[in-house]
Amino acid sequence: MLATGAALAGAQELGDVRQGLAYARKVCAECHAVVPSQLASPNPDAPSFASVANTPGMTATALHVWLHTSHPTMPNLILEPDTVDDVVAYILSLRRKR
């Protein structure tokens, strides 16, 4: 539990983890597994947020760039900067301690 709290605290420096989760559940969950308890994404081609968070070398900067870039297989979402910060904070809160 302490590791989760530490991850949340570190990620909250970027944005609001809870707001990021709320946004992800509302907008992203149609395709992505957004919570760790989901065994698979609804769309098999969409990575889970936990797998994104635990991709070697994944950084807040990389996630910001990815969320601001349109992708052919994703809806063209235009997110407010605060929303991007919140989603990035949430995704990074899913990192496993190594």
Give the count of alpha carbons within 13 A of 1, CB side only.
Answer: 0
- Cα torsion at 25, 45, 36, 92 (round to 10°)? -80
* pLDDT tens digits, one per residue of 24-50: 999 999 999 999 999 899 999 999 999
Q: Chain-centre distance of CA 51, in angstroms? A: 9
Of the candidates 32, 35, 30, which has an alpha carbon nearest to the alpha carbon of residue 18?
A: 35
Q: Can you read off the two tokens belonging to residue 39? A: 């065994």
- Which helix (H) or strand (E) segment holds residue 51: the answer is helix 49-53
Sign of the torsion angle spanned by Cα atoms 36, 27, 71, 17 = negative
Q: Residue 52 — very low, low, confident or very high, per pLDDT cuts 50/70/90?
A: very high
Architecture of domain 2-93: Orthogonal Bundle (1.10)
Asked if the model's pLDDT at residue 5 lies above 60, the reply is no
Q: Can you read off the two tokens belonging to residue 25? A: 């559940």
Largest CA distance in the chain: 39
Q: Residue 13 — very low, low, confident or very high, per pLDDT cuts 50/70/90?
A: low
